[in-house]
Each structure stands twice: as structure tokens, then as C-alpha cells.
């Protein structure tokens, strides 16, 4: 197998792709601090600035995707950057990230989605890990963090520096041994049967990923129990799935009936405080500080889980797969149980990063053509702003509500421009921009009135954003520059460490 033992890995195996054999040059802050004219289209302006830097990577910044979560190395790149070889790795156990999936009811029976990644965790010395963690911490050093923050920074860094395993078969053992407390999460109940072992139909991809639907046999459980047919229940049945041969690949599958309500919720800056729009804060909130809920969203979700019958929760974030465990751990101890989606590794190049959310949304909409969806997000993600209203057009009977947190209303640090034009022509009862979590209390999801009349809507359709509106354009440019700076520091530092 070809191995890159030179720093070339940075460019060959990461998002930069072979076509970009150069590190993005550090942006010159001074040059960018030029005043902008009014009414300029912020995206084309930013693209213009970025094009002058000569890198496609920079379009991440222009799209509101947190750029510090972009350039993760994978596979061979990790090995060569850590100076480890195949023999070192062979001695470490194979691990499986098994991401909780959903199942739909078909003519053949329950059809369950199994997705995740197979990888090995190299043994990295703490000193090395600290060097690597410092890449992600702008303006601070791991030595300056509190002990619990250091642990978190090392944990996240180690999760990123894993070696994915390609061309492997994955076998999943299904067990009906979930033990959800009655009413702990919407209508989720324990499956009474369905234990079986199934080998996935394909080997893992070049990046170690697997993602397949498989049909469950109707096996009999203890006490003669069995899976309930999807058209004979409104309840969501939960069934555990363990990746065979490892204790690291435990997950739960949610067997979701054809009709009912599903909420698809983004996580960053809606379920947790991230502040992706302030790169330094975003990095600390992601790499060092414990994940913290935003306002009282946990209470809002707990109430919905208890008051809306058989409400299916699906968490869909475009954060990269490598940090899935940290996101899941936070969600499951803070919010109702449910299925999960993060960004698979083959969606790492620029265009794929920008299309992954729609790809995952289309997949769940197509899997449940008769269910009605509640979509939750915030204004700082340009893909959310585009994709959520587009779903109303693509799947006219499937969108029940769209809720968007107006992030700039509570955070003056948020200078991201955002585009509301997709909402033009939508029924106001179908969507609401809101400021505080409590604004969600007065909505009637099941009755289809998603606008709490107490929350004044000020939407004008088109580009919004303080920096590019009437006030301080230079500030906005500074905001963008921080993004660029963060990215350039990241790339340059990785290069220095590797070199
Ligand atoms: C339930 O679904 C199965 C499989 O699709 C089908 O054979 C059966 O007729 C359905 N039963 C009812 C009551 O619709
Ligand atoms: C990791 O490496 C350190 C130092 O080389 C060694 O002491 C330790 O036993 C190794 N740990 C494992 C799990 O192999
Ligand atoms: C990091 O923390 C998560 C959540 O606690 C845990 O599941 C994971 O195994 C840890 N990863 C590493 C590499 O230590
Ligand atoms: C995976 O399973 C298939 C079908 O059983 C088999 O043909 C193939 O050789 C297996 N691959 C590996 C790497 O074991
Ligand atoms: C990524 O892989 C999945 C299957 O794991 C496949 O469905 C999808 O089309 C691939 N996407 C890209 C952009 O290669
Ligand atoms: C499984 O079989 C039992 C007994 O025949 C039947 O009552 C039940 O509906 C079946 N479940 C599914 C999921 O097909
Ligand atoms: C499951 O794992 C066990 C132990 O790791 C192994 O002996 C067995 O062959 C595996 N089964 C399959 C179907 O992969
Ligand atoms: C996964 O499940 C197995 C079987 O129940 C259990 O022994 C193991 O501790 C679990 N692993 C984790 C990480 O929870
Ligand atoms: C079940 O999900 C699969 C995969 O998305 C989809 O192709 C199929 O049409 C769905 N079946 C039904 C009956 O909804
Ligand atoms: C968001 O809040 C800002 C500041 O209050 C306001 O200018 C803007 O119109 C609001 N946007 C939406 C879509 O409600
Ligand atoms: C709309 O503007 C009013 C008055 O400035 C403000 O109180 C409210 O929070 C704004 N609504 C949103 C969703 O930003
Ligand atoms: C709880 O949710 C119900 C229905 O979804 C809603 O009517 C009620 O106002 C909510 N209560 C609180 C305290 O949020």
C-alpha cells in the first residue's frame, strides 16, 4: 500500500485535494479592512476576497460552516503525521463508531439504516497530543486551560487523529435489550423481539465508513415477544445494535412507524452554545469547554417529547463524523433519545460539504414519505437557511414547522450575513424566527400553527446581517477576517508540526 511519509499528506488526503498543492497563504488583515459599498451582495463580496487568496477551501467560510471543523486529516495522513506504522497500529484494537439509526416499515418488514465508521485509535503520547490540541486552540495554549478543559481538548484531538479502516465487513448483532423507562422519551418503547446478526451488504469505504439499509427478520424474543409491525402501532420501538467483535460499537436503532411527527434538529448554536461565528469562542466551546445547552432548550424538548404523541427525535448536524461521540454524549444526557446523523467522511470536499445537509435531509424525507417534519435550526448556517424552505417545495406535504433561532438578535458577536429569500411565499403558520427558547412555548405543532403570535416577525426577504446592512461594514469584514485567520493559523500550524 502506498504511504505518504512526507508532509504531502496534508494536501493529498484532506479536503484540500490534489488540485491544491499549496497552503492557503495567511490573509493580510490590513488589505481586507477596506470599507464596502452599501447594497453589495455579501457572499459574492466575500467570495471575491477569498478568490484572491486562491483557495477553494475558503468557500467554507463564506457558507457559515465552521471552518475549524473542516481540515481533519484521515487514514494514512494520520499515520504519517504521527510517525506510526502499520505494525504499531495492527496491535491496537479495531473500533467501530455505530451511529443510532432509524428504520422504516416496508413490504419486506422493518428496514433499518446502519451507519458509522471503522477505525483504530493510535497510541499518542500526551506531549504529542498537546501539540496537536494546540492547533485547534487559537490564542491560548493547552497549558493555560483548566484540568477538565485539558481532558476535553485531548479527548477531541485524539478523536480526530484516528486511522480509518477500509474494505472490512461489518456484522451487527441486534438485541432486544434496550431498557427505556416508560415515557422517558416520547413514544419510545422496548422492542420485544428481533434479535439477530446481520453482515452489512458492502465492505467499508476507502474512508472506513459504512451506511446501508438492511431488512430485519421477524425473530421471536424471550417470552414469545416479537417486533410489532409498523402498520400495527404508533409507537417507536427501540432495538440495540452492537457491532460484532468490539465493545466500542454500541448503538440503538429506532423503528419509526410510517405516520406521525419527526423533529429534525440541528445542534450547534441551537441545542448548545457554540458561537461558530466567533472563531476563537467557537474553538474553545468545541475543543475545551464542556458542551453547554443554549437557554432552556432541554425543557422545551422535554415538554414536546412528553406532550406530542410518539414524537420521533432525529439530530442532524453537519459536524464531521470524528466528533460524533462527543455530540451524542452531550445530546443523550441533555435531550430526548433519538436517531443521529453527522457528516460522513466522503463528504469532505468543498462542494460536498455544502451539499451534505440536503443529502441527509432528503434521505430521511424519502424514508418516511407520510410523516410530517418539524425542522429546527438557526440563522448562522447558510445551508439551513436554504435547505429548510426548499424542503417545503420539494416535499409539499411533509413539512409541518420550521423554527429558526435569530442568532444575531441575542449575540452582537454574530455578524454572519444570512439569506431569508427562501421563505418568501411560505405560509407564516408554517415557520417562525424566534429570539429566545421560551418563544417556542406558545406554538401548536400538531395543530399546524408554528408561529407564536407573541413573537413579532420582522422578516424582509433577502440578505440580512447587521454588518452588511446600514451600520458598520468594516466590522463585518473583521468578522470574516477572523474566520480566515483561524483557518490559516490552523493550516499553517498543522504544517509546522508535521514538518
Ligand atoms: C401491514 O404491512 C404489511 C407489509 O407491508 C402488509 O402485508 C399488511 O397487509 C399490512 N396490514 C395492514 C392492516 O395494512
Ligand atoms: C502507549 O505508549 C506508551 C509510551 O510509549 C506506553 O507506555 C503505553 O503502554 C502505550 N499504551 C498502550 C495502550 O499501548
Ligand atoms: C472522548 O469522550 C467521549 C465522550 O465521553 C468518549 O465516548 C470517547 O471514547 C472519548 N474518546 C477518546 C479518544 O478518548
Ligand atoms: C466480506 O464478505 C464477503 C461476502 O461474505 C466476502 O466475499 C469478502 O471476502 C469479505 N471481505 C473481507 C475483507 O473479509
Ligand atoms: C458517500 O457515501 C455514501 C454511502 O456511504 C453514498 O451514498 C454517497 O453517495 C457518497 N457521497 C459522495 C459525495 O461521495
Ligand atoms: C411477527 O410475527 C408475529 C407472529 O406471527 C406477528 O404477530 C407480528 O406482526 C410480526 N411482526 C412483524 C414485524 O412482522
Ligand atoms: C463476531 O466476533 C467474534 C469474536 O470477536 C468472532 O469470533 C466471530 O467470527 C464474529 N462473527 C462474525 C459474523 O463476524
Ligand atoms: C456495549 O455493550 C456491551 C454488551 O451489552 C457491554 O458489555 C459494553 O460494556 C458496552 N460498551 C460500552 C462502551 O458501553
Ligand atoms: C423506506 O426507506 C427506503 C430508504 O430510504 C426508501 O427507499 C423506501 O421507499 C422506504 N419505504 C417506504 C415504504 O416508505
Ligand atoms: C434578527 O434580529 C435582528 C436584530 O434584532 C433584526 O435586525 C433582524 O431583522 C432579525 N431577523 C429576523 C429574520 O427576524
Ligand atoms: C422583531 O423586532 C422586534 C422589535 O424590534 C423585536 O422585539 C423582536 O424580537 C424581533 N423579532 C425577531 C424574531 O427577531
Ligand atoms: C408543552 O407543549 C405543549 C404542546 O406541544 C404546549 O401546548 C405547551 O404550551 C408546552 N408547555 C410548556 C410549558 O412549554
- Provide DSSP, 324-353: HHHHHHHHHHHS---EEEEE-TT--SHHHH
Are 176 and 221 spatial neighbours (Cβ–Cβ below 8 Å)?
A: yes
Q: For ligand 7, atom 4, name the residue with the nearest CA.
A: 245
Instruction: Check if the beta carbon of residue 22 is closer than 8 Å to that of residue 488.
Output: no
For residue 301, the model assigns a pLDDT of 97
Q: Spell out which residues line ligand 2, taking CB within 6 angstroms.
A: 123, 125
**pLDDT tens digits, one per residue of 269-280:** 999 999 877 767
Question: For the chain, what are the domain ranges?
Answer: 46-71+261-309+348-499
Q: In the prediction, which pLDDT does 100 show? A: 98
Which helix (H) or strand (E) is 385 found in, with range? helix 382-394
Nearest CA to ligand 8 atom 9: 247
Contact (Cβ atoms closer than 8 angstroms) between residue 133 and residue 287: yes
Q: List pLDDT tens digits, range 433-472.
A: 999 999 999 899 999 999 999 999 999 998 886 544 433 3
Locate the ligand 6 atom nearest the alpha carbon of residue 110 and give its number: 13
Q: Ligand 11 pocket: which residues have CB below 6 Å?
A: 406, 409, 433-435, 455-456, 458
Nearest alpha carbon, ligand 11 atom 4: 456
pLDDT of residue 308: 95
As a whole number, mean pLDDT of residues 353-359 equals 86
Q: Is 121 in the pocket of ligand 7 (CB under 6 A)?
A: no
Residues 478-492 have pLDDT tens digits of 333 333 333 433 433
CA nearest to 403, candidates 285, 280, 499, 270: 270
What spacing in Å lies between the alpha carbon of 441 and ligand 5's midpoint? Answer: 38
What is the rounded CA–CA span in Å between residue 32 and residue 43? 15
Asked if pLDDT for residue 37 goes beyond 50, the answer is no
Which residue's CA is the nearest one to ligand 12's atom 14?
A: 441
Q: What distance in angstroms lies between residue 86's CA and the mean position of ligand 2's atoms? A: 16
What local confidence, expressed as pLDDT, does residue 35 receive?
31
Instruction: Look at 291-300, 398-407, 467-476 and tell me which has the smallest mean pLDDT.
Output: 467-476
Instruction: Give nearest CA residue, ligand 10 atom 5.
Output: 409
Asked whether 248 and 139 are in contact (CB, 8 A), the reply is: no
> Are 321 and 117 within 8 A, CB to CB?
yes
Q: Could you give the C-alpha distances from 199 to 66, 97, 169, 210, 219, in angstroms and in order?
A: 36, 16, 7, 11, 16
pLDDT at 463: 84
Starting from the CA of residue 322, give the closest ligand.
Answer: 3
Amino acid at each position: 500500500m502506498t504511504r505518504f511519509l512526507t508532509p504531502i499528506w496534508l494536501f493529498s488526503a484532506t479536503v484540500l485535494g490534489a488540485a491544491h498543492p499549496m497552503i492557503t497563504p495567511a490573509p493580510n488583515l490590513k488589505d481586507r479592512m477596506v470599507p464596502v459599498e452599501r447594497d453589495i451582495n455579501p457572499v459574492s463580496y466575500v467570495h471575491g476576497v477569498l478568490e484572491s487568496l486562491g483557495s477553494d477551501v475558503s468557500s467554507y467560510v463564506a457558507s457559515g460552516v465552521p471552518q475549524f471543523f473542516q481540515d481533519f486529516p484521515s487514514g494514512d495522513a494520520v499515520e504519517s503525521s504521527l510517525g506510526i506504522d502499520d505494525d504499531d497500529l495492527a496491535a491496537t484494537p479495531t473500533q467501530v463508531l455505530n451511529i443510532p439509526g432509524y428504520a422504516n416499515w416496508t413490504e419486506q418488514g422493518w428496514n433499518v439504516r446502519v451507519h458509522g465508521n471503522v477505525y483504530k485509535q493510535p497510541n499518542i503520547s500526551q506531549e504529542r497530543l498537546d501539540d496537536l490540541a494546540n492547533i485547534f486552540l487559537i490564542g491560548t495554549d493547552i497549558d493555560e486551560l483548566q484540568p477538565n478543559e485539558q481532558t476535553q481538548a485531548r479527548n477531541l484531538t485524539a478523536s480526530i487523529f484516528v486511522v480509518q479502516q477500509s474494505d472490512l465487513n461489518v456484522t451487527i448483532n441486534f438485541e432486544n435489550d434496550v431498557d427505556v423507562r416508560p415515557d422517558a422519551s416520547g413514544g419510545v418503547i422496548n422492542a420485544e423481539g428481533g434479535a439477530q446478526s446481520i453482515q452489512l451488504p458492502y465492505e467499508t469505504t476507502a474512508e472506513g465508513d459504512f451506511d446501508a439499509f438492511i431488512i430485519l427478520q421477524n425473530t421471536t424474543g424471550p417470552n414469545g415477544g416479537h417486533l410489532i409491525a409498523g402498520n400495527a402501532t404508533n409507537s417507536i420501538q427501540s432495538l440495540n445494535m452492537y457491532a460484532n467483535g468490539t465493545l466500542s460499537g454500541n448503538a440503538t436503532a429506532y423503528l419509526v412507524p410510517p405516520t406521525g411527527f419527526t423533529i429534525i434538529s440541528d445542534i450547534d448554536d441551537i441545542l448548545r452554545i457554540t458561537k461558530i461565528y466567533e472563531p476563537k469562542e467557537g474553538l474553545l466551546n468545541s475543543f475545551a469547554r464542556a458542551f453547554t445547552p443554549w437557554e432552556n432548550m432541554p425543557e422545551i424538548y422535554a415538554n414536546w417529547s412528553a406532550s406530542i404523541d410518539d414524537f420521533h427525535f432525529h439530530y442532524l448536524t453537519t459536524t464531521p463524523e470524528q466528533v460524533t461521540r462527543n455530540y451524542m454524549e452531550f445530546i443523550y444526557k441533555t435531550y430526548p433519545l433519538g436517531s443521529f446523523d453527522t457528516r460522513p467522511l466522503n463528504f469532505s470536499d468543498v462542494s460536498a460539504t455544502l451539499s451534505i445537509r440536503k443529502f441527509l435531509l432528503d434521505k430521511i424525507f424519502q424514508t418516511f414519505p407520510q410523516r410530517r417534519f418539524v425542522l429546527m435550526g438557526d440563522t448562522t448556517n447558510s445551508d439551513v437557511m436554504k435547505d429548510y424552505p426548499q424542503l417545503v417545495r420539494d416535499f409539499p406535504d411533509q413539512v409541518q414547522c420550521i423554527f429558526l433561532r435569530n442568532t444575531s438578535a441575542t449575540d452582537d458577536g454574530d455578524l454572519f450575513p444570512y439569506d431569508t429569500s427562501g421563505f418568501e411565499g411560505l405560509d407564516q403558520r408554517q415557520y417562525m424566527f424566534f429570539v429566545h427558547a421560551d418563544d417556542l412555548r406558545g406554538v401548536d405543532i400538531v395543530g399546524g400553527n408554528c408561529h407564536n403570535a407573541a413573537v413579532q416577525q420582522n422578516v424582509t426577504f433577502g440578505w440580512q446581517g447587521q454588518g452588511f446592512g446600514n451600520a458598520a461594514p468594516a466590522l463585518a469584514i473583521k468578522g470574516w477576517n477572523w474566520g480566515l485567520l483561524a483557518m490559516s493559523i490552523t493550516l499553517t500550524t498543522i504544517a509546522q508540526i508535521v514538518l
